[in-house]
Amino acid sequence: MSFTIIGLGELLWDMLPDGKMLGGAPANFAYWATRLGNRGVVASRVGTDALGDEAIDLLTQADVETTYVQRDAAHLTGVVDVELDAAGQARYTIVEGVAWDFSTIMNSGL
């Protein structure tokens, strides 16, 4: 038996010292649900920028449904800047005013 699992929330990029990694807890949840044999769906909002394109491409390649990922021409795809201190502890700076902050997913009929 499989289930439809919807990850409703932020889809963003973690900008790590060694490079970027696709993230956002709801998107990760949908990704792992798909990997475990379920129908994972991401419901979020990204910009119509290169990071948004790449996020959707990676999820699509992983068989995660992106039908409910909105595109936003006015706001950039979300990012979180990650810095590591000398002890390896992470400090996160969440960039605000990005596409997810303007999501209308609750009004989309999902």
The answer to whether residues 7 and 28 touch, using CB atoms and an 8 Å cutoff, is yes
Beta bridge partners of 16: 19
Both structure tokens of 5: 């699992």
The identity of residue 35, as a single letter, is: R
pLDDT of residue 105: 73
For residue range 68-88, what is the model confidence (pLDDT) as tens digits?
999 999 999 999 999 999 999
> Quick one: pLDDT at residue 108?
58
Angstrom CA distances, 4 to 31, 34, 41, 82, stand at 12, 9, 7, 32
Question: What pLDDT, in 10s, does the model give residues 88-110?
Answer: 999 999 999 999 999 987 665 55
Whole-number Å distance between alpha carbons of 6 and 56:
15
CA 108 to chain centre: 18
State CA 52 to chain mean position distance.
9
Q: For the whole model, what pTM was predicted?
A: 0.89
Tokens of residue 75, six digits:
């706001």
With b for 16 or more beta-carbon neighbours within 10 A and e for fewer, the 87-105 pattern comes to eeeeeeeeeeebbbeebeb
